[in-house]
């Protein structure tokens, strides 16, 4: 990421080009990871309406996590998220 070689910009560009709504979230701590997971889990519960429709927002959700880890779990900074 610091050298400009992160996956997120490429995935975002491809997703946008094929007509998807795309959000990227970078996390740098265990708390941020947990908060991001809670936000993602709440997406289908939000009463958002698209283009004035009276139908709840119900698009497929695809999640890509790019991380490093070991046998104990995902590593975020100095924290291991089991």
CA distances for 35 relative to 13, 39, 48, angstroms: 24, 6, 20
Residue 15, pLDDT above cutoff 60? yes
Residue 17 pLDDT level (bands cut at 50, 70, 90): very high
Residue 66 · residue 74 · CB < 8 Å: no
Residue 66 pLDDT level (bands cut at 50, 70, 90): confident
Q: Is residue 54 part of a domain?
A: yes
Q: Is residue 42 part of a domain?
A: yes
Mean pLDDT computed over every residue of the chain: 77
- In which domain, by residue range, is 51 found? 28-81
Number of domains in the chain: 1
Residue 73 pLDDT level (bands cut at 50, 70, 90): confident
Q: Is residue 53 part of a domain?
A: yes
Q: Is residue 19 part of a domain?
A: no
Q: CA–CA separation, 51 vs 58, rounded Å? A: 13
| pTM, two decimal places | 0.64
Give, rounded to a whole angstrom, the gap between the first and last alpha carbons of the chain. 23
Q: Is residue 36 part of a domain?
A: yes
Q: Is residue 75 part of a domain?
A: yes
Q: Is residue 11 part of a domain?
A: no
Q: Is residue 1 part of a domain?
A: no
Token pair 């491809």 is found at: 14
């Amino acid at each position: 990421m610091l050298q400009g070689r992160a996956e997120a910009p490429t995935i975002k560009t491809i997703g946008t080009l094929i007509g998807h709504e795309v959000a990227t979230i970078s996390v740098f701590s265990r708390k941020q990871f947990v908060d991001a997971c809670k936000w993602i889990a709440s997406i289908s519960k939000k009463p958002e309406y698209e283009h004035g429709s009276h139908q709840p927002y119900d698009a497929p959700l695809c999640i890509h996590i790019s991380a490093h880890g070991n046998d104990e779990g995902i590593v975020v900074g100095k924290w291991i998220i089991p």
